[in-house]
Structure 1
Amino acid sequence: MSSAKPPQQLTPLGYALAGALGGCFSNAVVYPLDVAKTRIQAATADASSRGGKDAGMLRVILRILKKEGIAGLYRGFTATMLNTFSMQYAYFFFYSFVRTSYIRRLKSRLPPGTKAPPLSTAAELILGAVAGALAQIFTIPVAVIATRQQIGRSPDRPRNGNGSCTPASPPPEKGTDGDIEKAALPKEKEYDDSFLGVAREIVDEEGVTGLWLGLKPGLVLTVNPAITYGVYERVKSAFIVAQETATGGGGSENAKLSPWVSFVVGALSKTLATVVTYPYIMAKVRIQARSADAEEAVEEHAPAPKPHAYHHAHTRHVGALTILARVWRKKGFVGWYQGMSAQITKAVLSQALLFMSKDQFEHWALAIMVLLYKLRGASA
């Protein structure tokens, strides 16, 4: 039997597991909001103009309920949870690993027993961005599939069974959200919207690299969690110092905020990060949903554009800056923030729930590690 002591604190893998479980829990609670905000963001400038006031989150949710029922609000749930778990696990793992390594390196330069100084905001942002970039590279294929599933098959992209374009036919009367319409072409196979079916469709259309659509804006958006966690850690440190000063306590490196304080601080942190990065968030969704490609195809076939004019051979994808420039021309600065209220509502609630539950999940993860240690010791 091993003489090593049971784990007293979480390893980077333990922190990653706790963060991933917390992320899945928080996203599952607000999932219908996630579907609605994705459809609002993926709508092209023309579609959102036609939708007018119907582009609000509540109206989109009601429209989905009317057309698709409860199941429509949970479209792509499995893929999104897989994406959330993998993204959160990867992010928390890399963030914890990079941050712990950086702090250990700082301590090695100080006299023994000296407490490392709090990290600067710049250091927190850089460490968070590095962790986010590494997580994005490994997890973005699942995010692309989840986005396509949430939106459903766009009626302006009719295809037959082998993925090629079918002859033109009149578009459905309704369905500006990109919902799957019943009025499909007679010779068309039933659309497979399962995880593997969507993945197969993406690979057939664009090759394996299609699974990494939106990677460039995704890397830019690594500043979002970096801002979120950077601000959170700074405010958390300020709260703990204030508590220590008020109580006259000596303090602890493992001091925790109360769940409700964590909720408020997490909500404020995520709101700030969302406002700063939202235009790129919207552009990334349009790239992954390929609504921007469809819009460009329509514009290229003026003066008589047709909603179903989509080219299977279209391999050059519209970039984030091109999307933002087009939105600016059509709708101005306001267009860059189309659907931001939906994004903030979903993101803030999800992130705040994550911060509230993360400490509890960390306790559970540590308990699991201790249990595994005992089981391994008993079998040795």
Structure 2
Amino acid sequence: MSLTPFGAALGGALGACFSNAVVYPLDVAKTRIQATSPASKGKRKDDMTMLSVLQDILKQEGIVGWYSGFAATMLNTFSTQYAYFFFYSFIRTAYTKRLASKLPKGSKPPPLSTVAELALGAIAGALSQIFTIPVSVIATRQQIGRSLRQSSKPYLLVDGEDDSEKKEDEEAQKQRTKVKEDEEENDNSFLTIAHEIIREDGITGLWRGLKPSMVLTVNPAITYGVYERLKSILLLARARAAAGEKMTPWMSFVLGAFSKTLATIVTYPYIMAKVRIQARTSDPDVDAEAADRTNDRTSDAEKLVGGPSVLHPHPRGVRVKQTGALGLLIRVLRTEGIGGCYQGMSAQIIKAVLSQALLFVSKEQFEKWAFVIMILFSKLRSRS
């Protein structure tokens, strides 16, 4: 009895949750490093190391800060990995059967090419992201903490706004939000963050960062494509050397670490851009630049509308145009140089490599448990 797509997905998801739970404080630290712009926050690069960020979190928030958004992240990890492994296993099985159907009866289909592995992984990743990204957005907001979110509230540019209407809107807005702001000031819960996102960006805000997420589907595709290719080569070499055909945990760890490092280096700029977009820490810089340019151009127009353009903090319920990943990266490249596009990459690699390597090691164990669960479930169904 072989594992169904359900069993493979369950094993992969449980393994991913285990591996991410082990290194979770590192995940929080790398997210805050990626979401923070040293230039805009007045921080030196020395202050943005994983160790220094972990120490700052411990001093300001205690040990609880190391586990900010833990439940949401585990839910996101389980749902994303389950969806990915399910779609990947389902699509790969269907594709392999289709290849086998074109071959003579009894002949074994050849191993999939690297291009095919990458393509199947990318499709599976794209399908999983569409369904699971809202939880990822909420988890990212929770991880960066309320203090960083408050310091990075976006701004809105309003040209020629009528004074009376502006005052009425401001007063009404103050009345509507005063009570909620007092209640939510220290609330970092899942539902509170979800409501905050919807108020700021509408329901589509829960899919913030979907485009770079789609681009990043090549990350697991590269990871698993490289892993499967190296695994096949290694097993073939061991078989020829009469050393057995099974992968040891240490071999899985090394192959997993190498494949994830390669995938992270290739895709890292978009990883950082996705975090900043979801955390909204890039918006103030964009809007401030837009405000400066607009104010320079509207000195004559101010006389026509009866008042100057107003730059005021972004109120809840008013939507700001989202920053695109490519535009964000161009601005980072212009203001911070090439190093800015790779800010926090070492933290990302440490966390990702440890997590992915643990996943490859534990995934096979969890697949065995999933296999046992499937057998027990099958027996229970036959008895009933």
Q: What TM-score does the superposition give when structure 1 sets the normalisation length?
A: 0.86
Q: 1:116 to 1:104 in 2, by over 3 A?
A: same
Among 180, 184, 187, the residue aligned to 1:190: 184
Residue 89 of structure 2 is aligned to residue 96 of structure 1: yes
Residue 358 of structure 2 is aligned to residue 353 of structure 1: yes
Among 237, 258, 261, the residue aligned to 1:268: 258
Number of equivalences: 346
Q: 1:120 to 1:187 in 2, by over 3 A?
A: closer
Comparing 340-349 and 192-201, the one that deviates more: 192-201
Give the Cα separation in 2 of the matches to 1:145 and 1:134.
19
Q: What TM-score does the superposition give when structure 2 sets the normalisation length?
A: 0.85
Give the Cα separation in 2 of the matches to 1:49 and 1:238.
49
Query: Residue in 1 aligned with 2:242?
Result: 247
Among 316, 325, 343, the residue aligned to 2:321: 316
Identical-pair percentage: 62
Query: Residue in 2 aligned with 1:87?
Result: 80
Query: Residue in 1 aligned with 2:11?
Result: 18
Query: Residue in 2 aligned with 1:376?
Result: 381
Q: 1:295 to 1:133 in 2, by over 3 A?
A: same
Q: 1:41 to 1:308 in 2, by over 3 A?
A: farther
Letter in 2 for 1:352: A
For the Cα contact (< 8 Å) 1:76–1:146, is it kept in 2? yes
The Cα offsets for residues 103-161 of structure 1, whole Å up to 9 and x where unpaired, read as: 111111111111111111111100000000000000000000000000122223579xx
For the Cα contact (< 8 Å) 2:72–2:135, is it kept in 1? yes
Q: 1:373 to 1:346 in 2, by over 3 A?
A: same
Query: Residue in 1 aligned with 2:336?
Result: 331
Q: 1:367 to 1:256 in 2, by over 3 A?
A: same
The Cα offsets for residues 75-96 of structure 1, whole Å up to 9 and x where unpaired, read as: 0000000000000000000000
For the Cα contact (< 8 Å) 2:152–2:280, is it kept in 1? no
For the Cα contact (< 8 Å) 2:114–2:225, is it kept in 1? yes
Residue 102 of structure 2 is aligned to residue 109 of structure 1: yes
Gaps of at least 5 residues in structure 2 are 155-169, 296-310
- Within 5 Å, give how 1:196-345 maps onto structure 2: 196-247=191-242, 256-302=246-292, 309-310=313-314, 312=316, 313-345=318-350
- Highest Rg: 1 or 2? 2
Q: 1:187 to 1:80 in 2, by over 3 A?
A: closer
Query: How much does 1:31 deviate?
Result: 0.1
Query: How much does 1:349 deviate?
Result: 0.3
Gaps of at least 5 residues in structure 1 are 1-7, 168-183, 250-254
Q: 1:49 to 1:124 in 2, by over 3 A?
A: farther
Query: How much does 1:102 deviate?
Result: 0.7
Among 114, 133, 138, the residue aligned to 2:131: 138
Comparing 234-243 and 187-196, the one that deviates more: 187-196
Query: How much does 1:248 deviate?
Result: 8.3
Give the Cα separation in 1 of the matches to 2:264 and 2:62.
30
Aligned-pair Cα RMSD in Å: 2.5
Give the Cα separation in 1 of the matches to 2:259 and 2:153.
42
